[in-house]
């Protein structure tokens, strides 16, 4: 059978098994088994054992459950409501006023949570009821939260960056550093859009609260101290060369427990719930990674990645044309799969092509994260859309339409980092130097 025939068969098997309701990790394992059995001479059982053990025993991957657990602990604290109190007085003078709390709050919380869905849910629980009570339109409130919630993937520490780093053999610490400037850039684009929207729709923005003196603003800002200290502990230990990402994740867990205890929200029940919640989420991710590792090995034995890379290389695409095709591919794929599955499922096939095109794997990692962010707000499997649908009771199509302008801003961010790659690479190069 030709390479195209094999690929069509395996893709058909992938979607057929997914459509039957089987877990993604087991689906990937099943497709890999089919490929090994039908198209290679190596025993599939031995190959599966080697691939899954190699995936599960990665030391780098140990940062992942710790960051997941840290996010679960903070999810159960008063951190989000305290952040609103600390930020709101400073937002009143900006066009759009408290809408910017969504963006700034997600930016700050993203730095202590590696999950887009957790960032969206945590800030949404705090901001949406308050914005609705003050009379802000639902469309822009929910749309800005859907867009800003995706910053949980881009601003370090990021779960998806850890997954990409493991899958593509790229330094996770370097990825974390590379995500800082693009993350701030995207947050500025979101806030800039809110300013433009507010200036074009002044009648839809509620009046500002009574102005507070500087001393009162500073007094309210004290509520930001716990989250700022936690960010400094986690990211400062990485950027300062004091700790590896795994060790910094452990620092983050300890810091989250301290914050939770100081706020009085650390009980045996909340500790147990956070531990079980983190364990469930990591087990799901680990199963996906194990299945993807076996699928990558299977594809390697069949030779599909090499042949695909040769085929794409033979097309003579310029790097920008290749990236444009990959962006379209991932956006379509994001309509069916979550971000982690997208990364681990495709890296084995895509990375040889990207490397052959002369694209920096570090830069490409940030590109992938931005494109996966877009997939978080594309129906029908946009995780942030699901979160907001559950929180607001709105139809998922309505939420997707509200988030669409922020989807376009993510495309603008991709164009900017392509035009100015130093936005991604300059900071890591300085840290190395």
Is residue 334 within 8 Å of residue 382, measured between CB atoms? yes
Residue range(s) defining the domain that contains residue 74: 59-432
67 falls in which pLDDT band (50, 70, 90)? confident
Q: Which range in 60-69, 131-140, 215-224, 419-428 is most confidently predicted, on average pLDDT?
A: 419-428
* 322-363 residue pLDDT tens: 888 888 888 877 766 667 777 877 787 788 888 888 889 999
| 6: in domain | no
Dihedral through CA 312, CA 317, CA 320, CA 323, nearest 10? Answer: -20
Higher pLDDT, 93 or 139: 139
| 31: in domain | no
Mean pLDDT to the nearest integer, 138-153: 87
pLDDT of 416 reads 94
pLDDT of 310 reads 67
| 36: in domain | no
**Cβ burial, residue 259 (10 Å; 0-12/13-18/19+):** buried
Report the distance separating Cα 281 and Cα 38, nearest Å: 33
313 falls in which pLDDT band (50, 70, 90)? low
pLDDT of 412 reads 93
| 7: in domain | no
| 370: in domain | yes
**Cβ burial, residue 69 (10 Å; 0-12/13-18/19+):** buried
Would the pTM count as exceeding 0.85? no
| 50: in domain | no
367 falls in which pLDDT band (50, 70, 90)? very high
Report the distance separating Cα 98 and Cα 204, nearest Å: 13
Over 70: is that where the pLDDT of 120 sits? yes
Per the structure, how many domains does the chain have? Answer: 1
| 51: in domain | no
Dihedral through CA 177, CA 164, CA 311, CA 15, nearest 10? Answer: -150
Query: Smallest Cα–Cα separation from 104: which of 129, 85, 132?
Result: 85
* 270-312 residue pLDDT tens: 899 989 988 887 787 778 778 877 877 887 788 776 676 667 6
Query: What percent of the chain has a predicted confidence (pLDDT) above 90?
Result: 12
| 117: in domain | yes
pLDDT of 433 reads 58
**85 alpha carbon, distance to own chain's centre:** 26
Q: What angle do CA 423, 374, 175 make, to 5 degrees?
A: 40
Mean pLDDT to the nearest integer, 129-158: 85
Of the listed ranges 178-192, 217-231, 305-319, 409-423, the one predicted with least confidence: 305-319
């Amino acid at each position: 059978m030709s390479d195209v025939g094999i690929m069509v068969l395996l893709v058909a098997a992938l979607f057929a098994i997914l459509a039957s309701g089987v877990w993604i990790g087991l689906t990937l394992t099943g497709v890999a088994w089919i490929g090994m059995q039908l198209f290679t001479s190596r025993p599939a059982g031995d190959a599966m054992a080697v691939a899954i053990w190699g995936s599960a025993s990665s030391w780098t991957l140990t940062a992942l459950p710790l960051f997941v657990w840290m996010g679960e602990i903070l999810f159960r604290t008063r951190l989000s409501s305290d952040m609103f109190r600390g930020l709101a007085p400073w937002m009143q003078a900006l066009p759009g006023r408290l809408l910017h709390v969504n963006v700034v709050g997600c930016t700050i919380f993203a730095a202590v949570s590696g999950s887009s869905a957790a960032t969206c849910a945590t800030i949404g629980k705090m901001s949406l009821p308050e914005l609705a009570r003050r009379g802000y339109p639902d469309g822009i409130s929910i749309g800005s939260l859907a867009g800003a919630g995706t910053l949980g993937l881009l601003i370090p520490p990021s779960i998806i960056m850890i997954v990409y780093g493991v899958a593509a053999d790229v330094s996770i610490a370097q990825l974390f550093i590379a995500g800082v400037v693009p993350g701030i850039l995207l947050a500025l684009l979101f806030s800039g859009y809110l300013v433009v929207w507010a200036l074009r729709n002044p009648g839809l923005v509620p009046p500002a609260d009574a102005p507070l003196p500087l001393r009162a603003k500073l007094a309210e800002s004290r509520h930001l101290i716990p989250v700022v200290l936690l960010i400094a502990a986690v990211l400062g230990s990485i950027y300062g060369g004091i700790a590896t990402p795994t060790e910094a994740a452990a620092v983050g867990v300890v810091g989250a427990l301290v914050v939770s205890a100081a706020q009085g929200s650390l009980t045996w029940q909340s500790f147990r719930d956070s531990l079980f919640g983190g364990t469930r989420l990591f087990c799901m991710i680990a199963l996906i990674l194990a299945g993807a590792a076996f699928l990558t090995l299977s594809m390697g034995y069949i030779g599909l990645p090499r042949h695909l890379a040769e085929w794409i290389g033979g097309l003579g695409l310029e790097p920008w044309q290749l990236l444009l095709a990959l962006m379209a591919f991932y956006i379509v794929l994001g309509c069916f799969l979550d971000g982690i599955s997208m990364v681990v499922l495709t890296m084995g096939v895509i990375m040889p092509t990207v490397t052959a095109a002369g694209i920096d794997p570090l830069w490409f990692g940030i590109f992938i994260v931005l494109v996966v962010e877009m997939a978080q707000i594309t129906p029908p499997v946009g995780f942030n859309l699901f979160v907001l649908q559950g929180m607001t009771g709105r139809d998922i199509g309505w939420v997707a339409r509200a988030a669409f302008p922020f989807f376009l801003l993510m495309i603008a961010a991709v164009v900017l980092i392509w035009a100015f790659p130093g936005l991604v690479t300059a900071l890591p190069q300085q840290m190395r130097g």
